[in-house]
Amino acid sequence: MIETVVRKRIEILTDKAIVRLVTDAIDAAGITGWTVTPVKSGKGRDGHWREERVMGTDKVFVLTIAPQEKAEKLAEALAPILTTHGLLLTMWDVEVIRGERF
């Protein structure tokens, strides 16, 4: 059987305009990698939304995987702007192969 290790999968929904702020926080937490993917539309507490290039409110998901302590460091770094910048941050345990890469 292939050996796996537990890591935290972290997804952050943010406006594209501040994605650099988020990825810089990931780097500062010592997390080795991240992926940014576009989000076209969704629905939340405030209703439906769609990408809006004119207003600069395109949304993206930033995905990263990290050990518990680095995930906590990232969450602490982003906590002050979760509400002010409308971020959605989720994290949960995942099993990964080649855990030394994360």
Q: pLDDT digit string (tens) for 8-59? A: 999 999 989 999 999 999 999 999 999 999 987 777 766 666 655 545 568 8
pLDDT at residue 52 in the model: 57
Matching residue, tokens 């099993």: 95
The CATH number that domain 5-93 falls under is: 3.30.70.120
Neighbours of 85 (CB within 10 A): 14
The secondary structure element, H or E, covering residue 41 is: strand 41-44
95 Cβ contact list (under 8 Å, min separation 6): 4, 5, 6, 7
Residue with token string 């941050």: 89
